[in-house]
Amino acid sequence: MKPRQAVLERRRQVLHARIAAQRSILAQELNALRGPLHAFEVARSVGEAIRRHAVLISAVAAVAGFIVMRGGLFSKTLRTIRLAQRTTSWLGIAKMAVRLVRRRPLTTA
């Protein structure tokens, strides 16, 4: 083997060793992020389920509020309507917040 080829071969081996070390470090860092990423995915799936069943959730809340409230039938009905309006407005605010978060680009430092 010529001296120039030997130098090139040593450089290639050093580069391969450096790449292997960087891959090992990257794998360790990704393993450290698996827990938080799993928690994020669970929270996201819960949010999707809530969004899919928002009408059902507000109806259940209205019925539960109707049952728990004291007073006559008319006052219960008015309170239930107000509760349903508040629930839907809070869900609307939550949907807007999700849209804003999705639009905002992620910034990396």
Query: Is the full-model pTM beyond 0.85?
Result: no
Q: Read off the tokens for 94.
A: 């939550």
Candidates 100, 83, 85, 91; CA nearest to 50 is: 91
The tokens describing 7, both together, are: 């130098």
- C-alpha span between 77 and 69 (Å, rounded): 10
pLDDT tens-digit map of 4-61: 888 999 999 999 999 999 999 999 998 888 888 888 888 888 888 888 888 888 888 8
Find which of 37-46, 53-62, 69-78, 88-97 is predicted with most confidence, using mean pLDDT: 37-46
